[in-house]
Each structure stands twice: as C-alpha cells, then as structure tokens.
Amino acid sequence: MKIDLLSSLYVFMLAAFIGFEVIKRITPLLHTPLMSLTNALDAIAVVGAILLAGEHKTTFAAILGTIAIVSATSNIVGGFLITDRMLRMFKPSGAKKA
Amino acid sequence: MNGFAGSDLLIEVAYLIATALFIFSLMWMSSPTTARRGVFAGELGMILAIAGTLLHRGIVDYKLIVIALVLGTIIGIPLGKVQMTAVPQRTALSHSFGALCVTLVGTAEFYLPREVPMTRFMMGVLCMEVILGALTITGSLMAAGKLQEWLPQRPITYKGQNFVNLGLLGVAVVVAIVLVIHPERTHLFPVIVGIPLVFGVMMIVPIGGADMPTVISLLNSYAGLSAAAMGFVLNSKLLIVAGSLDGASGFILSVNMSKAMNRSFSNVLFGAFGQEQTAATGTAEAKPVRSATAEEAAAILSAANKVVIVPGYGMAVAQAQHKVRELFDALSKRGVDVKFGIHPVAGRMPGHMNVLLAEADIPYDKLLDMDEINGDFPQTDVALIIGANDVTNPAARNEPSSPIYGMPILDVDKARTVMVIKRGMGAGFAGIENPLYFLDRTLMLFGDAKGFVGNIVRELSGGSGH
C-alpha cells in the first residue's frame, strides 16, 4: 500500500511536468479544441465507474457507478466528436474550401 | 506484483498503452496539421482502456454497464453536434458531467464495505476528490446557464460575499479534516458533498459574462484535479496521468486568461472575479468623432496594402463572421494582405474566436494571436475593428487611472488608419470609455456589424475596382 502510494505520487508529479511542457507548446489557435479534447480524455474516469457498476459489491455502488458511466460516456462521445468537428474546420491558406 | 494472472497483465498493458496514447494525443494538438491525429490517438487510447477494463475478472454483471454505455452515447452525440457559438456552454456542461462521474465514484468508494480500512492519506485524497468534484458540478452548471443566457449574465454581488463563500469552503475543509482523523464518522460525509455543491453555485453568482473564459478554464482544471485524486483512490496510474494532464491544461489556460484580463492569479484562484462595477457615465457625446460611410470605408480598404481585422465577441453575436469572410476574400482578391488579430479573451472561452473564424472558412494561418500581431500594427494601413472594444483601448497602456490599465491590448492605434464598426457611442462591456474613438486617425463606422460589413463588400465588388 505504501509503495503504491509513493509510486502514484511519482506518476502524478511526472504527469504534471509533462502536462505543463506539452500544453505550453499548444498554439492559442487551438485552445478551444484542446479543452474539449482534455475533457474527453478526462472522462477516462469511466473505468472506475465501470468497475463499480460491474462488480456490484453493493446496490448503492452499482447505481452510482451506472449513472457515472452515463455521464462519462457522454463526455467521451461528445468530446471527441466536437473536437474533430472543430479541427476539420481549420484549413491552411492553400486549401480551397468545399 | 507477483501473482499477475494473464488477463490482469493484459489489462495493465492496455492501460499503459492508453496512457502513452493520451500523451501523444496532446503532443499532436500543438499544430493544426497534426491535431486530428491527436484526436485519433485519444480515441484509440480510450477504446483500449475501456476494453481492458471490461476484461476485469471482478466484473460479474455486464447488463448495467452496457445500458449505461449506450445511454451515454445517445446523450453524447447531440453534445458533439452543437453550434460553434454554443461550444463554451457545451464545454461547461461537460465539465459538470465529468465532475459528476468523479463525485459519484468517490461517494460509492466511500461507502463500499472493505476489509482493511482506508488509510488516512486515502481518506484525505477521497475528500479532496469529492469536494473538487461537487463544486465543479454545480459551478459548471451555473457557468453553462449563464453562457446559454438561461441565467442573468450580470454579476450578482452582495456585501460580505467573499466571506460567505470562503467560509462555506472552509467548513467543508474542516469537516474533511475531521473525517480524515475519525474515518468512522461516516455521517459527516454528506456534508462534504453538500457544501461544495452549494459553494459551486455561490462561486459563479458574482461572475459576469465577460469573465467566463477564466471561469471555464478554472473549472476545467478542477475537473482534472478531481479525476487525478480519484486515480490515487483507485490506484489507477492511467487516471492519475489523464487527470493531471487535464488539470495542467486548465491551469495554464486560466493563467493565460487571467493575464489577458489583467487579473492577478490569486484573484482568480479565490474565485473573486466579480469586480466592482465601474460607473458607466459616459460623457462621450461631447467629444467629436469622425465617421465614414461604407463607400468611403471600401475605398480606403481597397487602397491599402496591409489590413488587420480585429474581431470581438460582438462580431459573433451579430453572426457577422461569414460576411467578414466575404470581405476577406474580396480584399485578398485585390492583393490586399489581410490578417486577423485575436485577443486571448475575444471569445467566450480560450481560442473560441479562432474556431468561429475557422468555421467561416478563414485560413488558420491568417489568424494571429495578440503577441504575434502587435509588432505588425505600425506597418498596417488599416486596422478594422469589428465588435471589439476594451481589448483595443489604448488607456490600458497609457492611462494609469483607467480601471483596465495594464491589461494587454491589441495596439490598433499604431495603425495608419483605424476603423471601428460599432452600433453607437456606448461604452464597452466594462463600461469604460475608449479614447481610441476620438483619435484623428480613427473613423467610426456606425451600424450593425453584419450589415455594415455586407455593405463594404458590396461596394468592393460593385465598384470600379481601383
């Protein structure tokens, strides 16, 4: 348990560093799609919800887990869809619009 | 680590690959040429992670999972198809959904029967997860409501507001600490869900529409942090990484936005965005301004070599972006170099204006952000301002007494000619008079943005050409 905790802290720290370095490089041009993309990625919390709903340890946990899957999945689906829709609109000067 | 059954190993490997794909996904977002690949990497990672989770041996019942996945997809599809002008409220709503998921999982984890009691550290993290999650649920709903104009856009303030808000949050934190010390007092748990739910509402009440870019970014960051905290509780490295990436992204965007709006970051952190309303007693009518017709504007524009268009949210409200595209096309055809100068807070969320202009088929390499374009203004023949006000106000640069002094602005006043399309002489959103309008080089083009730009386009195409 103690080892798990420490390694989790390492992962958190390293991920935060990577996050800052990677996000800093993203052009302001794409900040809106960036936010909808991170939103979709963040909905990976669905894995925790799936376990709760599937393991069915208590009815309470299963119900909360099920609602949580619904809300996270709507973020995954909606988030990726709209991010891609937005990115398709960004065209360079050369490309002639349809 | 010993005793890894085959499927467990498979699951862990799937999570590992998903984590790498998520990082690639954000790396590829750095440029519009690779960004769509980034979305694909994210989708792939997500599918891998979900498929891996479904292999989990502990899962005894798939019925609920399948129903929930299908239902979530049905809700998600329309959320992916909203209008581009509605993207800010959609984003706020999805922050709320993300936080709802995290808060529900946290609550369920708290009440799960377990052989070994949770460690104090875990309890602390769980409390943080739930507090951040709960305040993000209601805070984001409020933000979405304001952006959708279901709720009044005007900030609602009262005396002692910050005291009440911070007091509420303080109570939640104290209760969380008590829970960490005495985990057996489970009856306290609803308090640390309930109070942040109320706090989320109170936090957004004093915030006006113009401050929304900062608020959305901040709520984005909270949603990410609560997901990372959930990763600690579930001991899921994948979740920790995804949550911290989201948290870092939201954090950077909120710092950017607060800089662009001339607010200190501590001001932002404590949610005290609502500034005092400056008295909007404009005595503007007294001073003379020069105005011009669409015909005159078209003549000046077509004689120019270099034009910078500065769009503000007013342009999007007037739905004028497609007319602006026609203007862009008409001028480009005549060999005029047209670029767009975009202030970080030009839209209702970070980068929103770029999306609106890209939707109108304006090439992205013509969209330059404030730092890139500001050096160009002295060589610019015409700066055309459409629906923007405060972000072009030179008082921010040279009038220490101005409420917006210090705010980074687009240096449009350095262009040879400045044209401002505006309905009338009313002050801007912040109620501050703009000295730009009284400069000798400034021409006021009075009218509705869409109509006026349309008239200029007509003049350009119908006119003799030179």
Averaged pLDDT for residues B294-316: 92
- Give the minimum alpha-carbon distance from A6 to chain B in angstroms, rounded to a whole number: 10
Closest chain B residue to the Cα of A66, Cα to Cα: B68
DSSP B190-217: HHHHHHHHHHHHHHHTT--GGGHHHHHH
Confidence of residue B8 (pLDDT cuts 50, 70, 90): confident
A62-84: per-residue pLDDT in tens?
A: 999 999 999 999 999 999 999 99
Averaged pLDDT for residues B410-430: 82
Contact flag B104-A49 (C-beta cutoff 8 Å): yes
* B324 and B445 share one domain: yes
CB of B221 within 8 A of CB of B254? yes
Which residue from A22, A83, A97 is facing B27, i.e. has the nearest CB? Answer: A22
Confidence of residue B412 (pLDDT cuts 50, 70, 90): very high
* B418 and B299 share one domain: yes
Last residue within a domain, chosen from B50, B81, B112: B81
* B246 and B303 share one domain: no
* B306 and B344 share one domain: yes
Q: Where are the domains of chain A?
A: 27-89
End-to-end CA distance of chain B: 78
Whether B106 shows a pLDDT value over 80: the answer reads yes
- Give the minimum alpha-carbon distance from A3 to chain B in angstroms, rounded to a whole number: 11
Distance of alpha carbon B58 from alpha carbon B60, whole angstroms: 6
**Structural domain contains residue B88:** no
Averaged pLDDT for residues B84-89: 93
Judging contacts by C-beta atoms under 8 Å, the chain A residues touching residue B72 are 69-74, 76-77
In the β-sheet with B442-446, what is the strand arrangement from edge to edge? B367-369, B337-342, B306-311, B382-386, B417-422, B442-446
**Structural domain contains residue B199:** yes
Phi, psi (deg, nearest 5) at residue B310: -115, 100
Mean of per-residue pLDDT scores for chain A: 91
**DSSP state, residue B414:** G
Last residue within a domain, chosen from B253, B277, B301: B277
B291-300: per-residue pLDDT in tens?
A: 888 999 999 9
**Structural domain contains residue B153:** yes
**Structural domain contains residue B216:** yes
B358-393: per-residue pLDDT in tens?
A: 999 999 999 999 999 999 999 999 999 998 888 898
Last residue within a domain, chosen from B223, B248, B277: B277
* B147 and B255 share one domain: yes
Whether B170 shows a pLDDT value over 80: the answer reads yes
Which two tokens mark B259? 């800089």
Confidence of residue B1 (pLDDT cuts 50, 70, 90): very low
The β-bridge partners of B382 are B307, B417
Catalytic site includes residue B390: yes
Confidence of residue A21 (pLDDT cuts 50, 70, 90): very high
**Structural domain contains residue B187:** yes
Averaged pLDDT for residues B38-55: 96
Q: State which residues form the domain around B201.
A: 98-277
* B24 and B116 share one domain: no
- Domain total of chain B: 3
* B311 and B437 share one domain: yes
Mean pLDDT lowest among B43-57, B277-291, B427-441: B277-291
* B77 and B197 share one domain: no
pTM here is 0.90
Averaged pLDDT for residues B325-336: 94
- Give the minimum alpha-carbon distance from B86 to chain A in angstroms, rounded to a whole number: 11
**C-alpha B103 chain-centroid distance:** 22
Confidence of residue B418 (pLDDT cuts 50, 70, 90): very high
Give pLDDT, residue B157: 74
Distance of alpha carbon B389 from alpha carbon B372, whole angstroms: 20
Judging contacts by C-beta atoms under 8 Å, the chain A residues touching residue B67 are 66
Q: Select which of B211, B246, B376, B390 is catalytic.
A: B390
Judging contacts by C-beta atoms under 8 Å, the chain B residues touching residue A34 are 26, 29, 249, 253, 350-351
